[in-house]
Amino acid sequence: FCLPQVIGLFDVFTADLSLDKFHDFYLVMPFMGTDLGRLMKLQRLSEDKIQYLVYQMLKGLKDLKPGNLAINQDCELKILDFGLARQADSEMTGYVVTRWYRAPEVILSWMHYTQTVDIWSVGCIMAEMLQGKPLFKGSDHLNQLTEIMKVTGTPTQEFAAKLVSDDARGYVKSLPKVEKKDLHSVFSTTNPQAVAVLERMLLLDPESRVSAEEALMLPYFTEFREPEEETVPQQYDHSLDNTDQSLAQWKRHTFTEILTFKPVVPDSKETAL
């Protein structure tokens, strides 16, 4: 089954009648209206909207930035695509916006990633919704790290010891000592329960960050919680995706998948403006 916070696929079709002529195909998805990035530029979000949107992000957590989060008029959120938040800076040259939402361990390829790389992204997006501007707006990957550490403080020696690279450990140890900021002073006009969520998310050490399941149980989300709907999806089988096949084989496989796809009857609520 699909998580309700992940964009669905109603249908996929092609007008091409044979494999030889197969060139284009079309994906039919719910109409959402806008994305969170655009919405934040148009208006400051109310407290209840922020609560509801972050709650939905945590329910359908993957790699996130505001432009990847579609929203309809009922404030329902869908995640559009994946894979950006976990890529190292060398893979994302010039893609400045994504850097602002990436966890520090990803920016410098410090260590093996855990699912809390996504929690960091949620924390950055939540902070932006509360402040009306990005929290960590670095001009390059080192400046991004500097901006982060102005808030989180510099890494502890215990954290530095976990880094897989000798160069990374040396770099971290060379940084001037910066104390962690009290987020309640940074977000002085914000609901203290919202700040308590950020304090659990925006931690330099990924092992110390709250998990999605733990975050959903924080008091800030109590009024929206529906625990029976907080489902864990079946693990996706990547075995076919990772096989080494020729372009002709992938084309045949794609054409077959399209021809055998069973369309989903859309919920009227999903397609409403």
pLDDT at 272: 44
**Number of helices (H), then strands (E), in the chain:** 13, 5
Mean model confidence pLDDT for the chain:
81
Where do we find the tokens 């989180």? 152
Integer Cα distance of 104 and 135 in angstroms: 14
Integer Cα distance of 213 and 170 in angstroms: 34
Longest dimension (CA), the chain: 65
Residue 29 DSSP symbol? -
Q: Could you tell me if 50 and 126 are in contact, meaning their C-beta atoms sit under 8 angstroms apart?
A: yes
Q: Could you tell me if 270 and 30 are in contact, meaning their C-beta atoms sit under 8 angstroms apart?
A: yes
* pLDDT beyond 90 at 106: no
Integer Cα distance of 193 and 220 in angstroms: 5
pLDDT band of residue 90 (cuts 50, 70, 90) is very low
Closest by alpha carbon to 202, among 142, 141, 122? 122
pLDDT at 242: 73
pLDDT at 14: 92
| Domain 36-229 CATH (choose: 3.40.1310.30, 1.20.120.80, 1.10.510.10, 3.40.50.1820) | 1.10.510.10
pLDDT at 18: 92
CA distances 22 to 10, 246, 253, 255, Å, are 21, 16, 12, 7
Claim: this prediction has a pTM higher than 0.95: no
Q: Which two tokens stand for residue 94?
A: 């010039």
Any idea how long the chain is?
A: 273
- Residue bearing the bigger pLDDT, 62 or 7: 7
pLDDT at 63: 61
pLDDT at 86: 41
Least confident of 26-30, 66-70, 80-84, 144-148: 80-84
User: Can you say how many angstroms the Cα of residue 78 is from the centroid of all Cα atoms in its chain?
Assistant: 11
Domain regions of the chain by residue span:
36-229
User: Phi and psi of 9, rounded to 5°?
Assistant: -125, 110
pLDDT at 149: 93
Looking at residue 229, its amino acid is E
**In this predicted model, what pLDDT tens digit does every residue of 124-149 receive, in sequence order?**
999 999 999 999 999 888 899 899 99
Give me the torsion for CA of 224, 229, 235, 236, rounded to 10°: -80
CA distances 136 to 68, 79, 103, 117, 152, Å, are 18, 22, 11, 15, 11
* pLDDT beyond 60 at 48: yes
Q: To which H or E segment does residue 78 belong?
A: strand 77-79
What mean pLDDT do residues 29-50 have?
A: 83
* Strand partners for 71: 34, 77
Residues labelled as active-site residues: 63
Q: Could you tell me if 162 and 111 are in contact, meaning their C-beta atoms sit under 8 angstroms apart?
A: yes
% of the chain surpassing 70 pLDDT: 81
Q: Could you tell me if 266 and 9 are in contact, meaning their C-beta atoms sit under 8 angstroms apart?
A: no
User: Phi and psi of 13, rounded to 5°?
Assistant: -150, 165
Q: Which two tokens stand for residue 261?
A: 């796809």
